[in-house]
Amino acid sequence: MRKAKVQKDKKQEIKGLYRRGQVYWVAYKASDGSVTRESTGEKSREEAEYFLANRRKQVRDGEIIEARKRKNNKFAELAKDYLEWAERQKSFRDKRLLVKQLVDRFGTLKVSDLNTKIIEQWQSVQLRGNMPATVNRKLTVLKHMINKGTDWGMATEDTLKRVYKVKQLKEENTRLRFLNIEECQTLIDCCAEHLRPIVTVALHTGMRLSEILNLKWSQVDLKHGFILLDITKNGERREIPIDNTLTMMFNSMLRGFESKYVFTGKDGDPYKSVKRSFSTALKKAGITDFRFHDLRHTFASHLVMASVDLTSVKELLGHKSLAMTTRYAHLSPSHKRKAVNTLDNVLNESQKEAPVHNFSSQLGTKEQNNSISSYAPVAQMDRATVS
């Protein structure tokens, strides 16, 4: 027993080897005397010991870049290496756009120049034209870049600590802006030719902009009447019914350049953004305080107001939990009325011999038969597709 304890103590005495979470990290001196810390990526102590021994050999052989040279890495250089690594990820297209925006701001800076103050000031500027959730997504990518840069020897632990001190912004998810039927039709009429089918798909499916712009013809099954999204924001597969309006629209679209994408420019490549043309359409339509994502809210809101149950709306939107969909619940008081009437019927049925609170005769049948008005379709949207 004592021998085992001595061996354990001996293992703990290995200088330069420590754990962060479940992974081992190492610390060793570079040829200039500075200390370098990096992740081994290993959970096994034996593999981590081998990693450390190999790093020390590389230092002796002059293969390890000195720390003072690593400090000269530009943020743009880190971004280039990061994107090459990120190509394996499902969210690469979205992440590439976020990295580009980060490079536009920090590209000329040295990675070692990044600090809490610079990034917090950047947050404040970003809030002038973005929602807190959007800024938070960019910050998350920035932190991950520096984290990987530390693993690759392109950033120091001190830089990583400074960046991670920046806190996420509080997100306000209570905003629910949607268009009425007349506004929907006016917006479609004011859209440029290339934008009109994109907005129509958004209004009729509730798809996210990235899902629409990356939509391929192979995902559109007109025979069986659905759009298949293999990779969605929550990582799950989603099938979206196609109504009559979309069926006619897709059938009438010309597939130029034999592109695999549905919405493309003259060169056959998919659109990267419709921000400018969508803004122009909003101005022509006289619609203010509205974003493209609000078309998704419009889709969901009109379904709920048409008394479509929240579970069906959840599945159409691709929400992971019903809690995300309940933000629309207040638009449909009918489900509460049905619940109360169901209880009323049960109680009255059980109290036929001695009714206690049957107020039907007092209220009359007219009040009982009131219901939410039928759903006025957006550009002839098929209500049957969501029933």
Q: Which residues are catalytic?
A: 208, 233, 293, 296, 319, 328
Q: What is the DSSP string of 192-254?
A: -TTTHHHHHHHHHH---HHHHHT-BGGGEETTTTEEEESS-TTS--EEEE--HHHHHHHHH--
Pairing of the two strands 35-39 and 17-20: unpaired
**Two structure tokens written together for 296:** 């998704």
Amino acid identity for residue 176 in this structure: L
Contact indicator for 61, 68 with CB cutoff of 8 Å: no
The Cα 186–Cα 174 span in angstroms is 26
Nearest by Cα to 266 from 215, 188, 198, 193: 193
The C-alpha torsion from 103 through 104 and 105 to 107, rounded to 10°, is: 40
27 by DSSP, 3-state: which?
strand
Can you state the angle between helices 116-126 and 132-151, rounded to 10 degrees?
A: 150
Ramachandran category for residue 65: left, alpha or beta (phi over 0 → left; psi -120 to 50 → alpha): beta
Please give the Cα distance from 334 to 107 (Å, whole number). 54
Distance in angstroms (rounded) separating the CA atoms of residues 134 and 137? 5
Cβ within 8 Å of residue 61, ≥6 positions away: none
DSSP calls for 157-197? HHHHHHHHTSPPPPP---------HHHHHHHHHHS-TTTHH
Q: Any idea what DSSP says for residue 290?
A: -
| Beta carbons of 40 and 23 less than 8 angstroms apart | yes
**361-377 in b/e burial notation, b at 16+ Cβ within 10 A?**
eeeeeeeeeeeeeebeb
